[in-house]
A and B are shown apart, each in its own frame.
Chain A
Amino acid sequence: MPISLKDEAVIVGIGQTDFTKNSGRSELQLAAECVKAAIADAGLEPADVDGMTTFTLDSNDEIEVARSVGCGDLSFYSRIPYGGGAAVGIVHQAAMAVATGAANYVVGYRALNGRSGQRYSQGVAGDIVTSDLVHWGWYMPFGLLTPTSWVAMFTQRYMHVTGCKSTDLAEVSIATREHAVNNPNAFFHGRPLSLEDHQTARMICSPLRLYDCCQETDGGCAFVVTTRERAADLAQPGAVIRGIAQGSADDQEQMTSFYRPEIERLPEMELVARQVYAMSGLGPEEIDAAIIYDAFSSIVLFQLEAFGFCGIGEGKDFVQDGALGREGRLPTNTHGGQLSEAYIHGINGVNEGVRLIRGSSVNQPAKNDHVLVTAGVGVPTSAMILGQL
């Protein structure tokens, strides 16, 4: 009988740095700070940690972070590729490690100087030295160099097929901004967004305008995962992982899966959705709140469809009338998301998912039995459903 990860692992600590546009410190320091904070939040000591996991894109080696924080011996370390799709992927790594006994307490982290250092918005030019340069070579000569340009191609097709308008995308941006307005850690704290602001903002890559695009942020976020048994003795109410999965679908490319018969949906996220619902035994009607990866406004609509909150092509209708607000059908990205809080590659979303389960979000909805957290879009991708321990 294969091991199921259902209810085997619990997120017991979360930590983060401040989110800024210029941290003034190294990425390693940001990593050390958020890891230390997550360990302290769990009521643990650094020496308790024996596993580490992060993104292949992270510049901070596990052993460097362990030395900096004073974690001592490590018996597990791993990395997950493909940008934001790794955010729940590394939770998955941690959950498997603790469930199998490879480690007892695994820290996941992501720390970057995303604004003052290497900026994703500046494109993939020149300094790529990885083996996927050939892949980018199909796009670079034509000017498709930025995440916005890649996602714009999907979004244009989606709008053509579904009738979705730019004003529908604005519903997503405005809803998440309303959450950020209440969040002192958010870049857009206290600064609401009007429909007019959204519609008159400059075009980045048609049809995506400025406020359809996420932040660029300096900062770090980390979390600690352990087993149910150990979690019961720790400082915080645990967020238990009811279902968790990764997914890369047929004909997958990194950000440019342009060659499928249809590109106006996310088969990789549909694959993840099937798995997390199957593992947890839950369905969309039992999800009380969600963290939906929002590097761009349009991909929230794609994912609402992939996770069955509405039919395919109906995301634009679902988000009307405040559905993503605290009182709405599906309170979503209650921290302000990556559009309005910070872009920490989805790990700030993981941490907000934990806060929603704890009941400590600044925009806490009344019901919080189950929270969906998704990560990544247009790349091999991941998601989980969190519940009460």
Chain B
Amino acid sequence: MSELEKKKTEFEARIREFVGLPEGPPYLCPDAVNEAMIRHWCDAMGDQNPAYLDADAAAETVHGGLVAPPTMLQSWEMRGYPMHDATRLLPQNNQRKLHAAFDEAGYTGVVATDTEQEYARYLRPGDRITAETTIESISEEKATALGIGYFIVTRSVFSDEQGEEVGNLSFRVLKFKPAQEAQAAQESAAAPAKPTRIRSPYGHDNGWWWEACQEGRLLIQKCSGCGELRHPPRPMCGSCQSTEWDSIEASGRGSVYSFTVLHYPPIPGYDFPCPVGLIDLEEGTRICANIAGVEPEDIHIGMKVECMFDDVDEGLKLPFFYMVE
């Protein structure tokens, strides 16, 4: 047996000692099942079931009152921010010890892969839940897209004050050697920069306009001689030949005068299909810019639009004209 194989055998023997062990002592969930956490969870998930949210409506259901969404099961035992940092869990926590053993052997990566849940009954506000988690199994070594590693399955059983099980779940994570991650990082360092949109150069006659864009302001050049607005900016007024000028800030409201949806060739740095419009601003000048917030096939001449500035690349903000209902 080679030294490498010997090490691996020792490592596997060590980690398999954890199988069947509890993660730690039974954990009494810090909060009773309560309406506030239920409401927040439903908000986040977009669940508007009145059985979870409306006491009067819930009273009319088979539950006879408010209940918690079953899929909240694990959230009752979640330990908040300390979970982010394993050193803040108790040192006698077996899961922490197991992960430390993996880390020492170079399996420093961790990713949750899947969970399976079973529910015995609905939880109601006031229920106090206790969770008991066991390290259930550790797989053989697997080669995955992330790297070589082992799947660890833990099982948590949840019970109420009477010791009756209300549900259980299995949770599977992969502990892996992030060899490929390192390789990917190397590759990305060597790879050319992500393509970006082609920027306008900044010159005497146009730089001020583009700088205002970067501050989210849409300006229109205004002749100081005759007051005529002009776009694109030019150094001299075509009407009175004055070289003095100022600018006004446009309202951003306007309508589509013409447009095209670019399909080909797909130029790197731009999203295709790419709608571009000529927008008649309500101040009277016309501007070329991208149209957004509408399916390309729904764009039409005369459509009302309003300007918003979006960041498209690092250090590049551009005006986009969004359809107004």
Contacts and interface: CB of A to CB of B under 8 A. Distances in A.
A376 to B, nearest CB: 20
A153 interface: yes
B168 interface: no
Interface string A139-163: 1111111100100111011001000
A140 B318 contact: no
A123 interface: yes
Given A122-B265, A143-B262, A137 B286 contact: no
A135 B288 CA distance: 12
B263 A125 contact: no
B274 interface: yes
B88 interface: no
Given A157-B257, A203-B264, A205-B263, A140 B198 contact: yes
A141 B197 contact: yes
A267 B205 CA distance: 26
Given A144-B276, A157-B301, A160-B258, A137 B199 contact: yes
Interface string B298-316: 0001000000000010001
A42 B316 CA distance: 57
Interface in B91-127: none
Contacts of A152: 260, 262
A202 interface: yes
Given A146-B265, A149-B276, A137 B201 contact: yes
Contacts of A144: 260, 262, 276, 288
A156 B258 contact: yes
B278 A258 contact: yes
A204 interface: yes
B267 A143 contact: yes
Contact of B205 (A126, A134, A140, A149): A134
B231 to A, nearest CB: 7
B199 A141 contact: yes
Interface residues of B, number: 36
A125 B264 CA distance: 15
B262 A205 contact: yes
Nearest to A119: B265
Contacts of B312: 141
Nearest to B238: A251
Contacts of B270: 143
**Majority secondary structure of chain A interface residues (helix, strand, loop or mixed):** mixed
A138 B203 contact: no
Interface in A191-216: 202-208
A152 B278 CA distance: 11
B267 A138 contact: no
Contacts of B232: 135, 138, 259
B130 interface: no
A138 B202 CA distance: 11
A204 B265 CA distance: 7
A121 interface: yes
Contact of B206 (A121, A134, A142, A205): A134
A160 B255 CA distance: 15
B174 to A, nearest CB: 41
A138 B210 CA distance: 10
A152 B273 CA distance: 14
B289 interface: yes
A204 B267 contact: no
Nearest to B257: A157
A160 B299 CA distance: 13
B134 to A, nearest CB: 57
B106 to A, nearest CB: 45
A263 interface: yes
Nearest to B205: A134
Contacts of A122: 265
A47 interface: no
A154 B258 contact: yes
B200 interface: yes
Given A134-B206, A203-B264, A153 B286 contact: no
A133 interface: yes
Contacts of B296: 206
B261 interface: yes
Interface in B210-269: 210, 231-232, 238, 257-265, 267
Contact of B261 (A137, A202, A206, A259): A206
A145 B290 CA distance: 13
Contacts of A135: 232
A145 B198 contact: yes
Nearest to A206: B261
A144 B206 CA distance: 18
Contacts of A259: 231-232, 285-286
A123 B195 CA distance: 15
Contacts of A202: 263-264
A91 to B, nearest CB: 31
A140 B290 CA distance: 11
A263 B258 CA distance: 9
A235 to B, nearest CB: 45
Contact of A157 (B199, B205, B258, B274): B258
A140 B258 contact: no
A383 B20 CA distance: 90
Contacts of A205: 260-264
Contact of B318 (A133, A136, A141): A141
A140 B201 CA distance: 10
Contacts of B203: 134
Interface hub of B198, B203, B238, B288 (most chain A Cβ within 10 A): B198
| Closest 8 pairs between A and B when the two form their complex, measured CB to CB | A137-B200, A152-B260, A157-B258, A140-B198, A206-B261, A143-B274, A203-B263, A143-B270
30 contacts: A123-B267, A126-B198, A133-B201, A134-B203, A134-B205, A134-B206, A137-B200, A137-B206, A138-B288, A140-B198, A141-B197, A141-B198, A141-B199, A143-B262, A143-B267, A143-B290, A144-B276, A145-B198, A153-B260, A156-B258, A156-B259, A156-B260, A157-B301, A204-B263, A205-B261, A206-B261, A207-B260, A258-B258, A258-B286, A259-B232
Given A125-B198, A134-B205, 4 more contacts: A121-B265, A143-B276, A153-B259, A202-B264
